[in-house]
Structure 1
Amino acid sequence: MRSSRLLWSTVGLSGLLATFLFIFGFIAGAKNILFPPLSGLQAAPNQPAANENIFQGTKIQMVALGDSLSKGTGDDTGRGYVGDLREMIASTSGKPTYIIGNLAINGYTSSQLLHDLETNKGLVNTLGKADLITVTIGGNDLFHLGEDVVDASVINKRMPTALQNVKQILTEIRKMNQHAVILYVGLYNPFQDLPNSSQIALAIEKWNDSIFNTVSQNPHMVFIPTYDLFSFQFMQFLYSDHFHPNQEGYNRIAARILQVLEPELPKKGGVTQ
């Protein structure tokens, strides 16, 4: 009888100990899920903190890089989205806003821009002064406009190399300027009137998603979507070449960029929210 009570006491004690260990393990696990260690959430060395505002100076300086979209080809006023954006930022912030360099070149590919960034030491000085850097690149890699047919299979074949180039381009820009906001302006679809437009659309979506995944891993680096801006009545916003935006199209791109930047910009007569 005494041994039986001893046995049940031992079983009860073991059960109580198991229950305690289960509760302790559950609490520890929940803590790790709800309050993860900070080490994995900190900004990388030499990177701006995600909540650091960089438009605190007395002026805002812009640099544009890339291809004909940053150059403003198709806008009869010559401003393009870069010029329109400068005016919008100055009006919103009340600060003098300058384009200290529009270094975009018509027809440029990602390999050409990457080569410039790796070899042209003069770019370091210009890019290093910028508060805001905008980039359009990749369209000439993918769309092979010198050919008669825009083929989705060719776009997909060229995409991996171009994506790797763009990733390296963004890395090189960040090396030259560790505080600026870097904006990559996404691709739209100017080929909606072609028979294979749906296949082309999927390829462009794949490109934009890949670039978004790259930039979203870096503080103060932002992907600017433009695809939807040209989704309806797209010819209304294209130049006569049926590829580049016209004045209204560029203005829509600039307005989209301002929409993204506005929470970060100081307000006239006030402070940044």
Structure 2
Amino acid sequence: MDTTHRRRAAVSLHLPARQPFDFAASLAFIGSFPAMTGQQGTSGTALTLALRENATTMAARLTSATEGSGLDCELTADGPIDGPTARAAADRLGHYLGLDDDLSPLYAAARHDPPFQRVVDRLYGYHQVKFPSPFELLCWAILCQRVPMPVARTMKRALVEAVGNRIERDGRVLWAFPEAAQLAALDEDELAALIGNRRKAAFLYGATRRWLDLDEGFLRTGDHGAVRARVLELPGIGPWSASFLLIRGLGRMEHIGYDREQARAAARIYGHPVDEPEFRRLADGYRESQGYWAHYLRVGS
């Protein structure tokens, strides 16, 4: 249902979620996720954020559904929100919060893995929260390489505010991360002036333009190897960043890489150091859900 008041449009949506789903677990994760600090508003029961789809900046407020499962969402904007834009926003938010993720294979495999079953018991119903969009994660993967987290956040904020996707909701100013076409309008010198790092600006400049030629539908659902190969062609993206983008940006859970952070998380859960062969053996037990297994290890350890 659409209503208009002083030119502000509002659209109410219902976003279904595959059960089990625990929105409180999603909110807890978002509240502790350093890459998103200051971007979203969370309370015990609601999530508020800005997003941009089809050249429209919107504020979204999400709460547990009053009837049935899933979430209720109210979108607001300073101009009209047409049907395609509302549907694009619903798809973006559902993907961001993993609402359609099927946890049953993960949970079935966990029954044969007592240390991990204890993690499942604590996180039951938690669907992986990704970055709000894979393009945002692409940019973050470039910005956060080899710099402290506060520096990367400052660079990201400079990009966001320069583009100006600003909207107010409930007395708070919210900023939506730019669409790729918006960043593509900035040349390399402008990007370097904004973030203060010419090398990263060159990567952003090249990666943004190549992203415009990619089909997000293919990235979400295409052959994993082919998608990984395309991601690795993006400037500034190496093997670690590619895995980061595949899992945390696109929700591709079929494969997981081994690194020090994953090894530390596994050691905390399994109670002993986990070398790469053992990590691979454990991951193989989760088959197509091994990315979920690794994410649960990180969140639950």
TM-score normalised per structure 1: 0.25
Q: Which has the higher contact order (CA 8 A, sep 6+)?
A: 1
Query: Which structure features the higher share of strand residues?
Result: 2
TM-score, normalized by length of structure 2?
Answer: 0.24
